[in-house]
């Protein structure tokens, strides 16, 4: 773009700049979520009773979810809620839904894992101290 183009197309700059800033904002959010995931990875490293669901080799992820597999998932959810930590369950075995109930028992691995996984908080207002608090509570519960 030359200066003469700026003079004649001045109305296009705000849109162009808006698109650049929008893209930058998305990139920053993704980068921050990846940082949150690294903090969780560090916190759970070496703890065999907590299995982090990893990103497949050669793949990239926005890391909008941080999923762990644990024993007694439902009890952990309640314990975290009592500490004002609110994880989520983002996967259920499809055969638990009425429309697929006819297939109950046909996907034993899916059923098994769906009862053991939960998603830890990954919102953009979290800081390292928030991740540390979540990790501390998860470790405390899973070591009982």
pLDDT at 10 over 80: no
Please, which pLDDT band fits residue 61 given cuts at 50, 70 and 90? very high
User: Is domain 3-142 classified as CATH 3.90.1150.10?
Assistant: yes
Please, which pLDDT band fits residue 11 given cuts at 50, 70 and 90? low
Two tokens, residue 77:
């959810």
Residue 22: CB atoms within 10 A of its CB come to: 10
pLDDT at 4 over 70: no
Residue 17: predicted pLDDT: 87
**Domain ranges within the chain, ordered by starting residue:** 3-142
Average pLDDT, the chain: 91
Residue 9: CB atoms within 10 A of its CB come to: 11
For the entire predicted model, the pTM comes to 0.84
Please, which pLDDT band fits residue 100 given cuts at 50, 70 and 90? very high
Please, which pLDDT band fits residue 9 given cuts at 50, 70 and 90? low
Two tokens, residue 40:
């969780």
Residue 12: predicted pLDDT: 62
pLDDT single digits (tens) 63-93: 999 999 999 999 999 999 999 999 999 988 9
Q: Which of 15-19, 106-110, 118-122 has the highest mean pLDDT?
A: 118-122
């Amino acid at each position: 773009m030359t200066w003469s183009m700026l003079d004649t197309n001045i109305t296009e700059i705000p849109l162009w700049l808006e698109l650049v800033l929008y893209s930058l904002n998305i990139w920053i959010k993704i980068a921050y979520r990846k940082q949150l995931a690294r903090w969780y990875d560090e916190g759970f490293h070496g703890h065999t009773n907590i299995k982090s669901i990893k990103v497949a080799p050669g793949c990239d992820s926005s890391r909008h979810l941080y999923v762990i597999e644990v024993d007694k998932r439902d009890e952990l959810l309640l314990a975290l809620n009592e500490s004002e930590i609110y994880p989520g369950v983002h996967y259920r075995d499809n055969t638990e839904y009425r429309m697929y109930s006819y297939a109950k028992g046909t996907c034993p691995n899916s059923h098994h894992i769906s009862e053991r996984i939960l998603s830890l908080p990954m919102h953009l207002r979290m800081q390292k101290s928030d991740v540390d608090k979540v990790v501390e509570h998860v470790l405390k519960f899973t070591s009982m």
